[in-house]
Amino acid sequence: MNRRDQPIGVFDSGIGGLTVVSALRELLPNERIQYLGDTARVPYGGKSAATVERYSLEITCMLLEQNCKAIVVACNTASALALTMLERTIAVPVVGVIRPGAEAAVAATRNRHIGVIGTRATIRSGAYERAIRALDSAVQVSARACPLFVPLIEEGWLEGEITDRVVRQYLQPLVEDGIDTLVLGCTHYPLLRNAIGKFLGNSVRLVDSAENCARAVSHLLRQENLQANPGTKGELAVALTDPPDVFLEVARNALRLEMGEVVLRPLVPSK
């Protein structure tokens, strides 16, 4: 098989990475996408760096067995903690969500004060700060972990009084700090875009790490001459390490994603 016809492998700790898939499908409709969500061990967001590295490598290897031409780490926690290791370890190109999000944020800010929200592990890693400061060392970064956002989204409470109050609780301090740009540093968060936008109004620009990651993938494929032939019919295959929970339906509906039957690919038991 020609390398260009091989699928793009996309992984996340669970279902949230489908926001990246949705952006990829829109931008690159000819590509075949193989998605693998590690629902047996979701979430990665509260776990240690060593554990997230190990899980990320295992899941990546399962995608490489399917002959993927590139790997997209559609998970901020895994991008923050495991991307460098993956780049060093595997032979196909790897794209994460952090650098593209940092680049878009630096391009968007006017007052050079950027907010970043994400899981505890992503924020604790400081990965966005480092990526932003590497681009412009004069930018100030205010970061905040928002651990309630993922469960709110997975419950399907994308709007309403409770969601509005949780959004305010987490984001009010960032607004008071004076940010003019906010990076949605978790692939779940685009599903809360409306509630977050309603609270922030027009004064703060939202940077969606899913959209920017898709642009980086498109750029990479062009650069490496790996784009699918324009005549190819793109498609999406979704596999999970544990049977899907209700959140798959929430995401499928919110993102209007077409996918075939979801395949179960269990992890091999620990010895």
Q: Give catalytic residue positions.
A: 75, 186
Residue number, 48 or 223, with CB nearest to its own copies: 48
Residue 196's alpha-carbon distances to 21, 73, 175, in angstroms, are 21, 24, 12
Among 3, 29, 134, 165, binds its own copies (CB under 8 A): 165
Looking at the DSSP bridge assignments, the partners of residue 237 are 34
Using alpha carbons only, give the angle 14, 31, 247 rounded to the nearest 5 degrees: 20
Applying CB under 8 A, does 173 fall inside the site for its own copies?
no
Q: Minimal distance in Å, beta carbon 55 to its own copies?
A: 9
**Site stretch for its own copies (CB under 8 A), options 23-31, 132-140, 160-168, 227-235:** 160-168
Select 107 or 264, whichever has its Cβ closest to its own copies.
264
Contact 70, 94 (CB under 8 A): yes
Contacting residue, 26, 107, 169, 173, with its own copies by CB under 8 A: 169
Choose between 3 and 165: whose C-beta lies nearer to its own copies: 165
Interface residue with its own copies, options 136, 215, 242, 254 (CB under 8 A): 242
Site string for its own copies, 77-116 (x = CB under 8 A): ----------------------------------------
Helices 193-200, 161-177: axis angle to 10 degrees equals 50
Q: Minimal CA–CA distance to 47: which of 149, 119, 130? A: 119
Q: How far is CA 257 from the centre of its chain?
A: 16
As given in the structure block, the two tokens for residue 123 are 């924020």
Are 75 and 97 in contact, with CB atoms under 8 Å apart? yes
Task: Output the six-digit token pair for 143.
Answer: 């970061």
Of the ranges 51-59, 109-117, 176-184, 250-258, which one interacts with its own copies (CB under 8 A)? Answer: 51-59
**According to the binding rule CB under 8 A, does residue 259 interact with its own copies?**
no
